[in-house]
Chains A and B, each alone.
Chain A
Protein backbone atom coordinates (compact mmCIF):
# COMPACT_ATOMS: atom_id res chain seq x y z
CA UNK A 1 0.00 0.00 0.00
CA UNK A 2 2.88 2.30 0.87
CA UNK A 3 4.47 1.57 -2.51
CA UNK A 4 1.23 2.32 -4.33
CA UNK A 5 0.87 5.62 -2.44
CA UNK A 6 4.43 6.63 -3.30
CA UNK A 7 3.87 5.75 -6.95
CA UNK A 8 0.65 7.76 -7.07
CA UNK A 9 2.40 10.72 -5.42
CA UNK A 10 5.23 10.51 -7.94
CA UNK A 11 2.74 10.38 -10.82
CA UNK A 12 0.97 13.49 -9.52
CA UNK A 13 4.30 15.29 -9.00
CA UNK A 14 5.31 14.40 -12.56
CA UNK A 15 2.03 15.67 -14.05
CA UNK A 16 2.39 18.96 -12.14
CA UNK A 17 6.04 19.39 -13.16
CA UNK A 18 5.37 18.53 -16.80
CA UNK A 19 2.41 20.89 -16.86
CA UNK A 20 4.76 23.81 -16.14
CA UNK A 21 6.79 23.35 -19.34
CA UNK A 22 6.04 23.03 -23.03
CA UNK A 23 5.35 19.44 -24.09
CA UNK A 24 7.98 17.41 -25.87
CA UNK A 25 10.92 17.45 -23.51
CA UNK A 26 11.85 13.83 -24.09
CA UNK A 27 15.30 12.82 -25.29
CA UNK A 28 16.19 15.73 -27.48
CA UNK A 29 13.85 15.32 -30.44
CA UNK A 30 12.59 18.87 -30.27
CA UNK A 31 14.49 22.14 -30.55
CA UNK A 32 16.98 22.57 -27.74
CA UNK A 33 15.38 25.83 -26.62
CA UNK A 34 11.67 26.65 -26.49
CA UNK A 35 10.55 28.92 -29.33
CA UNK A 36 10.08 32.54 -28.34
CA UNK A 37 6.68 33.67 -29.53
CA UNK A 38 5.26 37.05 -30.38
CA UNK A 39 1.82 35.51 -30.01
CA UNK A 40 2.33 32.29 -28.02
CA UNK A 41 -0.09 29.45 -28.66
CA UNK A 42 -2.05 28.45 -25.54
CA UNK A 43 0.05 25.33 -25.03
CA UNK A 44 3.38 27.18 -25.06
CA UNK A 45 3.54 27.74 -21.30
CA UNK A 46 5.93 30.40 -20.04
CA UNK A 47 7.06 32.51 -22.96
CA UNK A 48 9.95 34.87 -23.53
CA UNK A 49 9.57 37.60 -26.11
CA UNK A 50 11.59 37.07 -29.29
CA UNK A 51 14.82 39.01 -29.71
CA UNK A 52 15.91 41.45 -32.38
CA UNK A 53 19.27 41.57 -34.12
CA UNK A 54 21.62 44.13 -35.59
CA UNK A 55 24.92 44.15 -37.46
CA UNK A 56 27.13 46.71 -39.14
CA UNK A 57 28.66 45.04 -42.17
CA UNK A 58 32.06 46.44 -43.02
CA UNK A 59 32.74 47.78 -46.50
CA UNK A 60 36.21 46.97 -47.82
CA UNK A 61 37.37 48.25 -51.21
CA UNK A 62 33.82 49.34 -52.04
CA UNK A 63 32.34 45.92 -51.27
CA UNK A 64 30.55 44.55 -48.23
CA UNK A 65 32.04 41.49 -46.61
CA UNK A 66 30.27 38.16 -46.34
CA UNK A 67 28.22 38.37 -43.14
CA UNK A 68 25.43 36.71 -41.21
CA UNK A 69 22.96 38.74 -39.21
CA UNK A 70 20.81 37.01 -36.62
CA UNK A 71 18.65 37.63 -33.61
CA UNK A 72 20.23 36.82 -30.27
CA UNK A 73 17.78 33.92 -29.77
CA UNK A 74 18.88 32.51 -33.15
CA UNK A 75 15.32 32.23 -34.49
CA UNK A 76 16.20 33.94 -37.76
CA UNK A 77 19.48 34.24 -39.61
CA UNK A 78 20.16 36.05 -42.86
CA UNK A 79 23.42 35.41 -44.64
CA UNK A 80 24.91 37.82 -47.15
CA UNK A 81 27.52 36.99 -49.78
CA UNK A 82 30.44 39.38 -50.42
CA UNK A 83 29.39 42.52 -52.30
CA UNK A 84 25.70 41.97 -51.52
CA UNK A 85 24.83 45.65 -51.14
CA UNK A 86 24.95 48.76 -53.30
CA UNK A 87 27.16 50.66 -50.85
CA UNK A 88 27.43 54.03 -52.65
CA UNK A 89 30.36 55.43 -50.64
CA UNK A 90 29.35 53.96 -47.26
CA UNK A 91 31.92 52.50 -44.87
CA UNK A 92 29.42 50.16 -43.22
CA UNK A 93 25.96 48.83 -44.00
CA UNK A 94 23.55 48.46 -41.09
CA UNK A 95 21.14 45.54 -41.05
CA UNK A 96 18.37 45.24 -38.47
CA UNK A 97 16.06 42.34 -37.68
CA UNK A 98 12.98 43.10 -35.61
CA UNK A 99 10.17 40.74 -34.66
CA UNK A 100 6.82 42.22 -35.59
CA UNK A 101 4.68 43.05 -32.55
CA UNK A 102 1.58 41.64 -34.19
CA UNK A 103 0.76 38.31 -35.80
CA UNK A 104 -0.77 38.81 -39.25
CA UNK A 105 -3.15 36.11 -40.44
CA UNK A 106 -3.37 36.34 -44.22
CA UNK A 107 -6.24 34.49 -45.85
CA UNK A 108 -4.19 32.02 -47.85
CA UNK A 109 -1.25 31.33 -45.49
CA UNK A 110 -0.95 29.90 -41.97
CA UNK A 111 2.19 31.13 -40.29
CA UNK A 112 3.90 28.90 -37.77
CA UNK A 113 6.66 31.35 -36.83
CA UNK A 114 6.84 34.96 -35.77
CA UNK A 115 6.97 37.59 -38.50
CA UNK A 116 10.35 39.33 -38.72
CA UNK A 117 11.17 42.62 -40.39
CA UNK A 118 14.63 42.85 -41.94
CA UNK A 119 15.89 46.25 -43.05
CA UNK A 120 19.17 47.68 -44.25
CA UNK A 121 20.37 51.17 -45.00
CA UNK A 122 21.65 50.14 -48.44
CA UNK A 123 19.82 48.34 -51.25
CA UNK A 124 20.41 44.62 -51.63
CA UNK A 125 21.84 43.60 -55.00
CA UNK A 126 22.54 39.89 -54.47
CA UNK A 127 20.36 37.13 -53.13
CA UNK A 128 20.66 36.52 -49.39
CA UNK A 129 20.09 33.20 -47.65
CA UNK A 130 17.46 33.20 -44.98
CA UNK A 131 17.02 30.61 -42.23
CA UNK A 132 14.07 30.46 -39.88
CA UNK A 133 13.77 28.28 -36.82
CA UNK A 134 10.32 26.96 -36.02
CA UNK A 135 8.68 25.41 -33.01
CA UNK A 136 7.71 21.83 -32.29
CA UNK A 137 4.33 23.05 -31.08
CA UNK A 138 2.92 23.72 -34.52
CA UNK A 139 2.87 21.85 -37.83
CA UNK A 140 6.04 22.01 -39.88
CA UNK A 141 6.10 24.86 -42.40
CA UNK A 142 6.35 24.24 -46.14
CA UNK A 143 7.85 27.56 -47.20
CA UNK A 144 9.13 30.96 -46.22
CA UNK A 145 7.00 33.93 -47.25
CA UNK A 146 7.97 37.58 -47.81
CA UNK A 147 6.10 40.84 -48.10
CA UNK A 148 6.66 44.60 -48.07
CA UNK A 149 3.47 45.13 -46.09
CA UNK A 150 2.47 42.60 -43.42
CA UNK A 151 -1.19 43.38 -44.02
CA UNK A 152 -0.82 42.98 -47.78
CA UNK A 153 -0.23 39.93 -49.96
CA UNK A 154 2.63 37.55 -49.12
CA UNK A 155 4.98 36.07 -51.72
CA UNK A 156 6.25 32.53 -51.58
CA UNK A 157 10.05 32.36 -51.65
CA UNK A 158 11.92 29.78 -53.66
CA UNK A 159 11.59 26.42 -51.92
CA UNK A 160 14.77 24.91 -50.50
CA UNK A 161 15.06 21.40 -49.15
CA UNK A 162 14.79 21.17 -45.40
CA UNK A 163 18.00 19.93 -43.84
CA UNK A 164 18.24 20.45 -40.14
CA UNK A 165 15.31 19.61 -37.91
CA UNK A 166 13.05 22.55 -37.04
CA UNK A 167 14.83 24.79 -39.51
CA UNK A 168 13.67 26.06 -42.90
CA UNK A 169 15.82 27.77 -45.50
CA UNK A 170 15.27 29.91 -48.56
CA UNK A 171 16.83 32.83 -50.39
CA UNK A 172 15.56 36.29 -51.13
CA UNK A 173 16.56 39.16 -53.39
CA UNK A 174 14.62 41.70 -51.36
CA UNK A 175 14.45 42.49 -47.68
CA UNK A 176 11.12 43.11 -45.95
CA UNK A 177 8.91 40.99 -43.71
CA UNK A 178 9.51 37.24 -43.44
CA UNK A 179 7.71 34.30 -41.83
CA UNK A 180 7.47 30.55 -42.37
CA UNK A 181 4.18 28.76 -42.87
CA UNK A 182 2.07 26.68 -45.16
CA UNK A 183 -0.78 27.34 -47.59
CA UNK A 184 -4.04 27.33 -45.66
CA UNK A 185 -5.54 25.08 -48.34
CA UNK A 186 -3.23 22.22 -47.30
CA UNK A 187 -3.78 19.94 -44.36
CA UNK A 188 -1.11 20.16 -41.68
CA UNK A 189 1.47 18.78 -41.35
CA UNK A 190 2.14 19.85 -44.92
CA UNK A 191 5.00 19.15 -47.28
CA UNK A 192 4.86 15.38 -47.04
CA UNK A 193 6.37 15.35 -43.57
CA UNK A 194 5.14 12.06 -42.16
CA UNK A 195 4.74 12.20 -38.43
CA UNK A 196 3.69 9.76 -35.82
CA UNK A 197 1.98 10.51 -32.55
CA UNK A 198 1.83 14.03 -31.25
CA UNK A 199 -0.48 16.77 -32.44
CA UNK A 200 -4.17 16.17 -32.22
CA UNK A 201 -3.67 12.41 -32.12
CA UNK A 202 -2.21 12.62 -28.63
CA UNK A 203 -5.46 12.87 -26.63
CA UNK A 204 -6.73 9.87 -28.62
CA UNK A 205 -3.55 7.91 -27.87
CA UNK A 206 -3.88 8.63 -24.16
CA UNK A 207 -7.58 7.77 -24.17
CA UNK A 208 -6.81 4.44 -25.87
CA UNK A 209 -4.07 3.73 -23.31
CA UNK A 210 -6.48 4.42 -20.44
CA UNK A 211 -9.16 2.17 -21.94
CA UNK A 212 -6.67 -0.66 -22.56
CA UNK A 213 -5.21 -0.34 -19.06
CA UNK A 214 -8.66 -0.46 -17.47
CA UNK A 215 -10.01 -3.25 -19.67
CA UNK A 216 -6.90 -5.42 -19.44
CA UNK A 217 -5.60 -4.38 -16.04
CA UNK A 218 -8.69 -5.10 -13.96
CA UNK A 219 -9.15 -8.74 -15.06
CA UNK A 220 -5.39 -9.32 -14.72
CA UNK A 221 -5.34 -7.84 -11.22
CA UNK A 222 -8.37 -9.90 -10.22
CA UNK A 223 -6.80 -13.09 -11.61
CA UNK A 224 -3.60 -12.35 -9.74
CA UNK A 225 -5.48 -11.77 -6.50
CA UNK A 226 -7.36 -15.02 -6.93
CA UNK A 227 -4.14 -16.95 -7.61
CA UNK A 228 -2.53 -15.25 -4.65
CA UNK A 229 -5.39 -16.37 -2.42
CA UNK A 230 -4.99 -19.89 -3.74
CA UNK A 231 -1.25 -19.67 -3.05
CA UNK A 232 -0.23 -20.41 -6.65
CA UNK A 233 1.23 -17.01 -7.56
CA UNK A 234 4.50 -17.27 -9.42
CA UNK A 235 6.71 -14.76 -7.71
CA UNK A 236 10.08 -15.61 -9.07
CA UNK A 237 11.41 -12.07 -9.24
CA UNK A 238 14.31 -10.61 -7.38
CA UNK A 239 13.88 -9.64 -3.75
CA UNK A 240 15.10 -6.29 -2.56
Chain B
Protein backbone atom coordinates (compact mmCIF):
# COMPACT_ATOMS: atom_id res chain seq x y z
CA UNK B 1 0.00 0.00 0.00
CA UNK B 2 2.78 2.37 1.02
CA UNK B 3 4.79 1.55 -2.08
CA UNK B 4 1.84 2.05 -4.45
CA UNK B 5 0.92 5.31 -2.72
CA UNK B 6 4.48 6.59 -2.91
CA UNK B 7 4.77 5.77 -6.62
CA UNK B 8 1.38 7.38 -7.31
CA UNK B 9 2.25 10.59 -5.46
CA UNK B 10 5.67 10.74 -7.10
CA UNK B 11 4.46 10.34 -10.70
CA UNK B 12 1.60 12.79 -10.16
CA UNK B 13 3.95 15.35 -8.64
CA UNK B 14 6.42 14.99 -11.52
CA UNK B 15 3.71 15.23 -14.18
CA UNK B 16 2.06 18.28 -12.62
CA UNK B 17 5.39 20.01 -12.10
CA UNK B 18 6.26 19.27 -15.71
CA UNK B 19 2.92 20.65 -16.88
CA UNK B 20 3.29 23.82 -14.81
CA UNK B 21 6.85 24.37 -16.07
CA UNK B 22 5.76 23.82 -19.66
CA UNK B 23 3.22 26.64 -19.35
CA UNK B 24 6.21 28.92 -19.69
CA UNK B 25 7.11 28.12 -23.25
CA UNK B 26 10.81 28.82 -22.61
CA UNK B 27 10.87 25.69 -20.49
CA UNK B 28 8.81 23.36 -22.70
CA UNK B 29 11.72 21.28 -23.97
CA UNK B 30 13.50 21.23 -20.60
CA UNK B 31 10.25 20.28 -18.85
CA UNK B 32 9.69 17.40 -21.25
CA UNK B 33 13.27 16.13 -21.10
CA UNK B 34 13.70 16.44 -17.35
CA UNK B 35 10.12 15.29 -16.71
CA UNK B 36 10.71 12.20 -18.84
CA UNK B 37 13.91 11.40 -16.96
CA UNK B 38 12.27 11.97 -13.56
CA UNK B 39 9.34 9.73 -14.51
CA UNK B 40 11.76 7.02 -15.59
CA UNK B 41 13.28 7.08 -12.10
CA UNK B 42 10.01 5.66 -10.77
CA UNK B 43 10.94 2.35 -12.38
CA UNK B 44 14.27 2.08 -10.59
CA UNK B 45 14.51 -0.95 -8.34
CA UNK B 46 11.87 -2.97 -10.15
CA UNK B 47 12.96 -6.18 -11.90
CA UNK B 48 12.56 -5.86 -15.68
CA UNK B 49 10.03 -8.72 -15.79
CA UNK B 50 7.79 -7.03 -13.23
CA UNK B 51 7.78 -3.92 -15.40
CA UNK B 52 6.81 -5.97 -18.45
CA UNK B 53 10.24 -5.49 -20.00
CA UNK B 54 11.23 -9.11 -20.47
CA UNK B 55 12.94 -10.15 -23.69
CA UNK B 56 10.89 -13.21 -24.63
CA UNK B 57 8.73 -12.90 -27.77
CA UNK B 58 10.53 -9.65 -28.43
CA UNK B 59 9.70 -9.51 -32.14
CA UNK B 60 6.01 -9.92 -31.35
CA UNK B 61 6.24 -7.15 -28.77
CA UNK B 62 7.78 -4.82 -31.33
CA UNK B 63 5.08 -5.64 -33.85
CA UNK B 64 2.52 -5.06 -31.10
CA UNK B 65 4.06 -1.64 -30.48
CA UNK B 66 3.72 -0.75 -34.15
CA UNK B 67 0.10 -1.89 -34.04
CA UNK B 68 -0.57 0.24 -30.95
CA UNK B 69 1.10 3.21 -32.65
CA UNK B 70 -1.17 2.70 -35.65
CA UNK B 71 -4.28 2.61 -33.45
CA UNK B 72 -3.22 5.73 -31.53
CA UNK B 73 -2.64 7.64 -34.76
CA UNK B 74 -5.64 6.30 -36.66
CA UNK B 75 -8.19 9.02 -35.71
CA UNK B 76 -5.84 11.80 -36.81
CA UNK B 77 -4.72 9.97 -39.95
CA UNK B 78 -8.29 9.31 -41.01
CA UNK B 79 -8.88 13.03 -41.11
CA UNK B 80 -6.35 13.61 -43.87
CA UNK B 81 -4.12 16.60 -43.19
CA UNK B 82 -5.54 16.92 -39.72
CA UNK B 83 -2.37 16.19 -37.86
CA UNK B 84 -0.32 18.92 -36.30
CA UNK B 85 3.34 19.19 -37.16
CA UNK B 86 5.87 18.46 -34.46
CA UNK B 87 8.98 20.64 -34.74
CA UNK B 88 12.03 18.39 -35.09
CA UNK B 89 13.63 20.07 -32.08
CA UNK B 90 10.98 18.50 -29.91
CA UNK B 91 11.67 14.96 -31.14
CA UNK B 92 14.15 14.10 -28.38
CA UNK B 93 11.77 15.55 -25.82
CA UNK B 94 8.90 13.52 -27.29
CA UNK B 95 10.90 10.31 -26.99
CA UNK B 96 12.06 11.10 -23.44
CA UNK B 97 8.63 11.89 -22.10
CA UNK B 98 6.96 8.93 -23.85
CA UNK B 99 9.45 6.46 -22.39
CA UNK B 100 9.32 8.13 -18.96
CA UNK B 101 5.52 8.03 -18.85
CA UNK B 102 5.33 4.38 -19.84
CA UNK B 103 7.96 3.35 -17.31
CA UNK B 104 6.13 5.32 -14.62
CA UNK B 105 2.46 4.53 -15.36
CA UNK B 106 2.34 1.14 -17.07
CA UNK B 107 5.64 0.10 -15.51
CA UNK B 108 6.19 1.02 -11.85
CA UNK B 109 2.70 2.24 -10.94
CA UNK B 110 1.04 -0.72 -12.65
CA UNK B 111 3.36 -3.18 -10.90
CA UNK B 112 2.81 -1.55 -7.48
CA UNK B 113 -0.99 -1.53 -7.89
CA UNK B 114 -0.92 -5.09 -9.23
CA UNK B 115 0.84 -6.22 -6.06
CA UNK B 116 -1.74 -4.39 -3.98
CA UNK B 117 -5.02 -5.38 -5.64
CA UNK B 118 -4.40 -7.38 -8.78
CA UNK B 119 -5.00 -6.54 -12.43
CA UNK B 120 -8.31 -4.61 -12.06
CA UNK B 121 -6.73 -2.16 -9.61
CA UNK B 122 -3.57 -1.94 -11.71
CA UNK B 123 -5.44 -1.17 -14.93
CA UNK B 124 -8.05 1.13 -13.35
CA UNK B 125 -5.63 2.88 -11.02
CA UNK B 126 -2.94 3.50 -13.62
CA UNK B 127 -5.55 4.83 -16.06
CA UNK B 128 -7.05 7.14 -13.43
CA UNK B 129 -3.65 8.48 -12.35
CA UNK B 130 -2.61 8.87 -16.01
CA UNK B 131 -5.71 10.94 -16.71
CA UNK B 132 -5.26 13.05 -13.57
CA UNK B 133 -1.62 13.58 -14.50
CA UNK B 134 -2.70 15.14 -17.80
CA UNK B 135 -5.39 17.34 -16.25
CA UNK B 136 -3.08 20.35 -16.00
CA UNK B 137 -1.62 20.09 -19.48
CA UNK B 138 -4.76 19.34 -21.46
CA UNK B 139 -8.13 21.08 -21.84
CA UNK B 140 -10.95 19.13 -20.12
CA UNK B 141 -12.53 18.04 -23.40
CA UNK B 142 -9.32 16.13 -24.29
CA UNK B 143 -9.24 14.10 -21.09
CA UNK B 144 -11.70 11.45 -22.29
CA UNK B 145 -9.39 10.65 -25.18
CA UNK B 146 -6.39 10.72 -22.84
CA UNK B 147 -8.17 8.30 -20.49
CA UNK B 148 -9.12 6.02 -23.39
CA UNK B 149 -5.48 5.92 -24.53
CA UNK B 150 -4.38 5.11 -20.96
CA UNK B 151 -6.95 2.33 -20.72
CA UNK B 152 -5.86 0.83 -24.04
CA UNK B 153 -2.18 0.85 -23.03
CA UNK B 154 -3.00 -0.49 -19.56
CA UNK B 155 -5.09 -3.32 -20.99
CA UNK B 156 -2.24 -4.23 -23.31
CA UNK B 157 0.12 -4.30 -20.35
CA UNK B 158 -2.25 -6.72 -18.61
CA UNK B 159 -3.27 -8.85 -21.57
CA UNK B 160 0.23 -9.35 -22.98
CA UNK B 161 2.23 -8.82 -19.74
CA UNK B 162 4.26 -6.43 -21.84
CA UNK B 163 5.52 -2.86 -21.64
CA UNK B 164 7.66 -2.90 -24.78
CA UNK B 165 4.67 -2.42 -27.09
CA UNK B 166 3.16 0.49 -25.09
CA UNK B 167 6.61 2.11 -25.08
CA UNK B 168 6.95 1.81 -28.85
CA UNK B 169 3.33 2.82 -29.52
CA UNK B 170 3.57 5.86 -27.25
CA UNK B 171 6.84 7.02 -28.82
CA UNK B 172 5.40 6.65 -32.33
CA UNK B 173 2.25 8.57 -31.39
CA UNK B 174 4.15 11.41 -29.74
CA UNK B 175 6.63 11.67 -32.60
CA UNK B 176 4.05 11.56 -35.35
CA UNK B 177 1.68 14.03 -33.70
A interface with B by C-beta (< 8 Å): 3-4, 6-7, 10-11, 13-30, 32-34, 41-43, 46, 135-137, 139-140, 163-165, 167, 189, 193-203, 205-206, 209-210, 212-213, 216-217, 220-221, 224, 234-240
Residues of A within 8 Å of B56, CB to CB, are: 234-237
Inter-chain contact B151/A10, CB cutoff 8 Å: yes
Inter-chain contact B177/A29, CB cutoff 8 Å: yes
Residues of A within 8 Å of B174, CB to CB, are: 26-27, 29
Inter-chain contact B32/A28, CB cutoff 8 Å: yes
Residue picked from A22, A197, A213, A224, most chain B C-beta under 10 Å:
A197
With A26-B177, A136-B85 given, is the CB distance from A19 to B75 under 8 Å?
yes
Expressed in whole angstroms, the minimum distance between the Cβ of B126 and any Cβ of chain A is: 13
B149 within 8 A of A: yes
Picked from B22, B77, B138, B155, the residue with its CB within 8 Å of the CB of A203 is B77
> Which chain B residue has the least Cβ–Cβ distance from A239?
B161
**Within the assembled complex, what's the spacing in Å between the Cα atoms of A68 and B3?**
49
Picked from A14, A22, A164, A203, the residue with its CB within 8 Å of the CB of B25 is A164
Expressed in whole angstroms, the minimum distance between the Cβ of A66 and any Cβ of chain B is: 22
With A28-B137, A202-B77, A212-B66 given, is the CB distance from A10 to B84 under 8 Å?
no
Instruction: Tell me which residues from 125 to 165 in chain B have a Cβ below 8 Å from any Cβ of chain A.
Output: 137-139, 141-142, 144-149, 151-152, 155-156, 158-162
Inter-chain contact B54/A10, CB cutoff 8 Å: no
How many residues on B have C-beta within 8 angstroms of the other chain's C-beta atoms? 74
Residues of A within 8 Å of B101, CB to CB, are: 27
Residues of B within 8 Å of A23, CB to CB, are: 75-76, 79, 82-84, 177
**Within the assembled complex, what's the spacing in Å between the Cα atoms of A33 and B26?**
18
> Which chain B residue has the least Cβ–Cβ distance from A14?
B148
Inter-chain contact B149/A3, CB cutoff 8 Å: no
**Within the assembled complex, what's the spacing in Å between the Cα atoms of A137 and B81?**
8
Inter-chain contact A238/B25, CB cutoff 8 Å: no
Picked from B77, B85, B114, the residue with its CB within 8 Å of the CB of A206 is B77
**Within the assembled complex, what's the spacing in Å between the Cα atoms of A16 and B177?**
18
**Within the assembled complex, what's the spacing in Å between the Cα atoms of A25 and B60?**
28
Picked from A4, A24, A205, the residue with its CB within 8 Å of the CB of B84 is A24
Picked from A198, A205, A235, the residue with its CB within 8 Å of the CB of B85 is A198
Inter-chain contact B76/A18, CB cutoff 8 Å: yes
